[in-house]
Amino acid sequence: MDVISFAGYIRRLVIPLYIRFSEATLKEMKFVLALIALAVVVAARPNDDLFYDKKYDNFNVDEIIDNPRLLKAYTFCFNDKGKCTAEGNDFKKWIPESLQTSCGKCSEKQKYLVAKFVHAIKDKMPDEFDILRKLHDPKGEYTENLDKFLETYGH
C-alpha cells in the first residue's frame, strides 16, 4: 500500500467518525487523548529524583579509603573544614537526606559503597566521624537507623 492509498484509507475512516460524533463529544475525545498523551510523556520521563546519580554506582571508594590523605580531605569537606571536589560536593549535599532515609535514594551498589566509606571514617578517623555525626544528627535521632544500615550493607 503506497502513501496515497493509505491517506485515502485513513480519510475514509476518519470522516464518517467525525460526522457521527457531535462537537461536544469530539472535544471530550480530544481532551481524553491529550490526557493520555500527557500520561505517556510523564511515564516515559526518567525519575531522576528517585535515586542519586547512577554515575556513582562505580565510584572507587577503595582509592579514598586506602589513601589517608584523600580520606582526610573528603572527611574535612563533609565537616566544612576543607575544600570539596565535585564528587565531594555531591556527597556532602546528600548526607542529611541519606542519613534521615537510610540512603533511601541510593542504588543498591551505592548503599554498599556508602557503608564502606562510613565504616572507614568511623574506624580511621573517629574524632572526625563524631564531628560529622554531631553536624548532621545533633540529637542522635538517626543513630539507630545508621547502625542498622551499616550492619546491613557494611560487610
Number of residues that make up the chain: 155
**What is the pLDDT, as a whole number, of residue 22?**
56
Q: How far apart are CA 57 and CA 87, in angstroms?
A: 12
**What is the pLDDT, as a whole number, of residue 130?**
94
pTM score, two decimals? 0.66
DSSP three-state, residue 8: helix
Angle between helix axes 86-101 and 126-136 (nearest 10 degrees) is 60
Q: DSSP E strands: which ranges in 38-99?
A: none
User: How do the pLDDT tens digits run along the chain, 155 residues long?
Assistant: 565 666 666 667 656 655 555 555 656 655 544 444 444 444 444 455 676 778 888 889 999 999 999 999 999 999 999 999 999 999 899 888 888 988 888 888 989 989 999 999 999 999 999 999 999 999 999 999 999 989 999 86
